[in-house]
Structure 1
Amino acid sequence: MYFYVEPEVSGGFGDNTVVDTSTHPPLVSKLHYQFDGWLGDDLLETFPCYVVSALLAKEIELAGLTGYTLGDLETSKSEQFKELYSGKELPTFYWLKIDGVAGKDDFGIAEDYRLTVSEKALKTLKKGKIDEAEIENF
């Protein structure tokens, strides 16, 4: 069984993101995720990138899942975030770079550019908080 997962969107590209928008999907070589809000999920997105909390990254690595690599990213808080969530600390996040095949690897990208995960990967993701994610059958 495989599933589509559409994670919480808590922000978008920050000023230090390096992105080539001449292709679709855009090619991101450096990710700066700027938070505008955050409902607390451990898996987030800003098209076409996914980010995971350090807690969830560790669970993913321990599970031996396929179809991804972890990378560093820069995070920041927008003025809106600072106003709405005064004093709220963010955990460390990592860039979850998806390079797997949808329906074959534990993590993949479908033809419609949505994230796909195996049943094993979904169980692993649920070890963190993914309450805001929309999940449906692939």
Structure 2
Amino acid sequence: MDPSVHPPAVSKLHYQVEGWFGDALVTTFPCFLVTEEAKRGLLDIGISGATLAPAEVTKSENFLELQPDVELPPFVWLKVDGRAGHDDFGVNQKLNLVISERAFDVIDELGLPSASIQPFDVGNK
């Protein structure tokens, strides 16, 4: 990670899971992950504003203690490079992830139980 720029530039993603409650989308500044199942759905609709790349995902000691029976699905890195409010995926000036309705529908169908989702305000691009 290159912290000399903001948001930090990430060249290789290793995400250590502290807890997981079934979300198909995992957000952690400045990176995002989706399950393989979500990846397939997003590719089926031909998303714009993001590419999908491999990510190393491991369980933390905390995860192993608190959720020992939870199996993680395979995850991939959702590398967002689109324009908020224009592409299916983008990041606004406040560094919040912005998702089009059609991409949201794909991910929501697979589970967004703990995500905090708010409508996109065009005035806050």
Cα drift, residue 127 of structure 1: 2.0
TM-score when scaled to structure 2? 0.92
Decide whether the 8 Å contact of 1:21 with 1:27 is kept in 2. yes
Please point out which of 7, 16, 21 is paired with 1:34: 16
What is the alpha-carbon root mean square deviation over aligned residues?
0.9
Structure 2 Cα separation of the partners of residues 136 and 83 of structure 1: 32
Unmatched 5+ residue regions in structure 2? 121-125
Structure 2 Cα separation of the partners of residues 36 and 117 of structure 1: 24
Corresponding residue for residue 15 of structure 1: none
Corresponding residue for residue 97 of structure 1: 79
Please point out which of 60, 82, 87 is paired with 2:64: 82
Please point out which of 3, 18, 31 is paired with 1:49: 31
Unmatched 5+ residue regions in structure 1? 1-18
Q: Which has the higher helix share?
A: 2
SS for the counterpart of 1:59 is helix
Percent identity of paired positions between Structure 1 and Structure 2: 46
SS for the counterpart of 2:117 is strand
Q: Which has the higher strand share?
A: 1
Please point out which of 61, 66, 70 is paired with 2:43: 61
Please point out which of 90, 94, 98 is paired with 1:108: 90
